[in-house]
Amino acid sequence: MYHWMVRRLVRRTFAALSRGDYESVLRGVSPSVTHTFSGTHTLGGTRHSVEGMRRWFQRLYRLSPGLTFEIKNIAVSGWPCDTTVAVEWVDRATPADGSAYVNEGVHVIKLRWGKVVYLHAYLDTQLTEALCRRLVAFGLEEAGAPPIQD
Q: What does DSSP say about strands 115-123 and 29-37: parallel, antiparallel, or unpaired?
A: parallel
96: pLDDT strictly greater than 90 = no
Backbone conformation region of residue 39, classed left if phi is above 0, alpha if psi is from -120 to 50, else beta? left
Predicted structure pTM score: 0.94
- What tens digit of pLDDT does each residue of 61-87 get? 999 999 999 999 999 999 999 999 999
pLDDT of residue 132: 96
Instruction: Residue 63: count other Cβ atoms within 10 Å of its Cβ.
Output: 22
pLDDT of residue 101: 95
> Are the CB atoms for 56 and 43 separated by under 8 Å?
yes
Q: How far apart are the first and last CA of the chain?
A: 36
All domains of the chain in start order, with CATH: 2-140 (3.10.450.50)
> Rounded CA gap, 136 and 123, in Å?
21
45: pLDDT strictly greater than 90 = yes
Q: What is the CA radius of gyration of the chain?
A: 15
